[in-house]
Structure 1
C-alpha cells in the first residue's frame, strides 16, 4: 500500500494557551493533507477527478500526545481504508519518525455542487484511490487479484 506524504508547517498561531497545537487545528492539518492528496494528485492531465466538490461526513481523531511549536514541519501520512459507491474513508497519522501525535480518519462524500447532492465515485477515481488502499481493507474494496503495489511520489 502506498501512503501519501504531506509535510505540514506549524504556525505560531496554531498554539493554544497550554503551549501545544490546539485540538481544532489538527482538523486543519488533516484538511490540508486531504486536499493535497485528492486534488493535487488527481490522476491525469485535464482529469475531472475530485474537482466537482466533496463534503466531510465524519471525522474521528485520537490525540496520542501533545505537539508543540517548532520550526520543522510535521509529517502527515494518508491512505485509503474504504472505497464505497459514494464515499471513501481516508486514514491519517500526524507524526515524526520517532512518535505519533494523532491518528485520525475522515469519511468523504463526493458532491455535485451544481445539483446540490452527493454523487458516485467514478471508475477513474476508484482506480487512483486503490493505489492507496490499505492492505487490510475488506476484499470488496480491492481490485481482483489481491494487494495493490504502488509507490507514493
Structure 2
C-alpha cells in the first residue's frame, strides 16, 4: 500500500502564545496535504474529478505532542482508511522521521470527505477512476486511536 507524503512548511504565524503550533493550525496542515493528495496527485494519475468539488463532513484529531516552529518542514503521511459509495476517509500522521528510522508523531487525524457536484449543489458518487486511485493508498487501520 502506498502512502502520500507531503512536506508541510511551518510558518512563524502558526505558533500560539505558548510557543508551539496552535491546535487549529493543524486543520490547515491537513487541508494542505489533502489538497496535494486529492487534487494534485489524483489529477496527475488521471483521477482529477476531486478537483471539481468536495466537502469535509468530519475531522477527528488526536494531539500527541507539541510541535514547535523550526525552519524544516514537518512530514504529513496520508492514507485512505475507508472508501464508501459517496464518501471516503483520509487518515494522517503529522510527524518527523529521524535518520535512524524512528519517528516523532505530533498528530494523528482523519477526515471524512464527500465528493460534491458544485453545479448540482449536492454530493456525488465516487467514480470508478477515483476509486482505483484511492485504492492504491488504502489502509485498513485508522490513524486515530483511542487514548
Give TM-score scaled by structure 2 length. 0.89
Inter-CA distance 24–50: structure 2 relative to 1 (3 Å threshold):
same
2:95–2:104 CA contact under 8 A, matched in 1: yes
**Structure 1: gaps of 5 or more residues:** 138-153
Aligned partners of 2:138, 2:119: CA distance in 1, in Å?
29
Aligned partners of 1:24, 1:120: CA distance in 2, in Å?
30
1:43–1:128 CA contact under 8 A, matched in 2: no
TM-fit CA distance, 1:136: 4.6
Which among 116, 124, 130 is matched to residue 129 of structure 2? Answer: 124
Secondary structure at the aligned position of 1:51 is classed as helix
RMSD of aligned residue pairs (Cα, Å): 1.5
TM-fit CA distance, 1:52: 1.7
Aligned partners of 2:46, 2:81: CA distance in 1, in Å?
27
Aligned partners of 1:47, 1:111: CA distance in 2, in Å?
15
**Residue in 2 that maps onto 1:68:** 68
Give TM-score scaled by structure 1 length. 0.85
TM-fit CA distance, 1:86: 0.1
**Residue in 2 that maps onto 1:49:** 49
Secondary structure at the aligned position of 2:95 is classed as strand
Secondary structure at the aligned position of 2:5 is classed as strand
TM-fit CA distance, 1:43: 4.6
2:47–2:130 CA contact under 8 A, matched in 1: no
Number of residue-to-residue matches in the alignment: 137
Q: Does 1:19 align with 2:19?
A: yes
Aligned partners of 1:45, 1:67: CA distance in 2, in Å?
33
